[in-house]
Amino acid sequence: MTENIKKHTYLFVALAGYNPFSIPNDIIKRIAKLITRKEEWSNSVKRNDQNFELDFAPYERQKLRHEPVIEETLAKLSDEGIAETLDCLRPVWPDGKRMAAVLTHDVDHLVPYSMLDRVRSFRTFPEASVFRKGVLLYSAAKACFKSIAGYKRWVSLDEWIEMEENCGAKSTFYFFGQPVPSPHPKDSNYRYTDKARWQETFINVKNIIKNIENRGWEVGLHGSYKSYNDGEKLRVEKQNLDSVSENRVNTCRQHYLRYDIKHTPQVHQNVGLEADTTLGSNVSLDFRAGTGLPFFMFDIEHDKEVNVLQVPLIIHDVALMGNQQMTPELALNRCMEVVDRCRKYGGAITVLWHNSYTHDSAYTKVYQALIEYLSECDAWGCTVTQMNHWWRKRRRTAEEWLSENY
Ligand SMILES: [Zn+2]
C-alpha cells in the first residue's frame, strides 16, 4: 500500500464517520483494496464486454457479494470498542437521517414503440451483428404493429416524480446526450425535439428536461455504449445535454454499465463530470466495491486520486427481475433485505429503476413499494448531485481533520 493509497483510505474511513487511526492496519489494507478496485485493475475480463462482475472474483469474495462488508467491519470494530467514531463527521447523513438512498432512472426510451426511434436505429444497421440486425428488424415490425393496434402507455416522468415526492424523496434522470455521435446498435435514438408524455399532454423532450430540473430533480448524462473509454465522444454527448439543461450536467451513468477501471474514471474527470454511478452489476444485487458509501476513484497505475466521486449502484431492476427472473414479491423482499442491512450500519444504497414500464407493471409496483419502505426506514432519498455536494462538503472537513492529525 503506497502512502497515497493510505491517505485516500484514511479519508474514506473518516467520511464513514470513524477515526482512521483507530482502525487496525490489516483492515485499512482490506478497505484500500476494495475502494481502489484492485481486483478490477488486475483482472480485465468483462461480462458480455460490459463490466467486471463479482462472478470473476475468488469464491471467498463472492460469498460476501451481497454484503456491505466495509460498513459491517467498521461497525463491528466499533462495537468491540476498537474503532472510535469521529464527532466532526457525524451525523453521516443530513438531518440525522438513518441512511441514504440515491434514486436514479436511466432514460433509455421515452416513447413506447416509437416508429421514429426505430427508423433512426437503422443508421446502426451496417455495423450491427446478425443477432442485432434481427432485433432491429423485429423491433421495427413490433413498433409498426403496436402503433396500429395501440399500446399501453408508460408511467410518464412526471408520474415517477410524483411517486417520489409523496415519499419525500428526489431522484436523478439520466438522459442520452443526443444526437449520439456514431451510435452503437444498442444505443437509444430519441431527440430532444421529439414529443413525449408529461402531465397528460405531449411536449418536447427538451421541455421535459427543463420541467424535471425546475421541480428540483436532477438531469444527468447517460453515456452511450461506446463512450465509456472515449473522452471525445463523451464530451460531445455532455455538450449536447448541457445545451438543453438549465444546470450544468455534472453526474453520469454509462449505458449497460460499460466500465473500464483503467480508462473510464479518467474520461469522466476529463470531461468535467464530478460523480458517476456506474459501478454496479447487471446480473445480481451486489456490493461490487464492498460498500454502498460513495468513494473517490483512484488511479493505481499513476498512484493518484481521480477527482470523480463514485456513488456505487446496488439495486438494479434489470439484474433482479430481468437476469435473475425474480417474481415481484421476491424482488421486493431482496431489496428490503438490502435496505435493512444498510440501515443497520447507517450506510447508503443507490437504486437504478428504468422508466419504461406501464402503470400495472410489476416493476412499477415494486419500485413504489421500495420507496415507501425507504421512507419508513427514515432514509434520505436524494439525487446523485445532492449526494455529491454533501460528500464533498464533508470531505473538506475530513481533509482539515486529517491534515491536523496525520
Ligand atoms: Zn441505458
Tell me the pLDDT tens digit for each residue of 193-240. 999 999 989 999 999 999 999 999 999 999 999 999 999 999 999 999
Assess contact for 80 and 20: CB atoms under 8 A.
Answer: no
Q: What is the mean pLDDT of residues 111-132?
A: 77
Task: Give me the pLDDT at residue 145, please.
Answer: 67
Task: Summarize pLDDT for 37-46 with one digit per residue, the tens.
Answer: 999 999 888 9
Cα 106 to ligand 1 centroid, rounded to whole Å: 5
Whether 128 has a pLDDT exceeding 90, the answer reads: no
Q: Which residue has the higher pLDDT, 113 or 338?
A: 338
Q: What is the pTM of this model?
A: 0.95
Q: Could you give the CA distance from residue 51 to residue 280 in angstroms, rounded to a whole number?
A: 9
**183 grid coordinates:** 451510435
Relative to beta strand 172-175, strand 195-198 is: unpaired
Least confident of 116-130, 160-174, 353-367, 390-404: 116-130
Whether 5 has a pLDDT exceeding 90, the answer reads: yes
Q: Which stretch of DSSP H or E encloses residue 115?
A: helix 115-121
Whether 342 has a pLDDT exceeding 80, the answer reads: yes
Cα 126 to ligand 1 centroid, rounded to whole Å: 22
For 1-112+152-406, which CATH superfamily applies? Glycoside hydrolase/deacetylase (3.20.20.370)
CA 99-293-309 angle, 5° bins? 130
Domain boundaries, the chain: 1-112+152-406, 114-151
Cβ neighbours for 85, distance < 8 A, ≥ 6 positions apart: 17, 18, 19, 78
Cα 177 to ligand 1 centroid, rounded to whole Å: 12
For residue 137, name the pLDDT band (cuts at 50, 70, 90).
confident
- Computed on alpha carbons and rounded to an integer, the radius of gyration of the chain in Å comes to 21
Whether 144 has a pLDDT exceeding 90, the answer reads: no
Task: Give me the pLDDT at residue 147, please.
Answer: 65
Q: What is the mean pLDDT of residues 56-69?
A: 93
Cα 89 to ligand 1 centroid, rounded to whole Å: 35
Cα 32 to ligand 1 centroid, rounded to whole Å: 30
Cα 75 to ligand 1 centroid, rounded to whole Å: 35
Cα 14 to ligand 1 centroid, rounded to whole Å: 34
Helix (H, G, I), strand (E, B) or coil at 135: helix
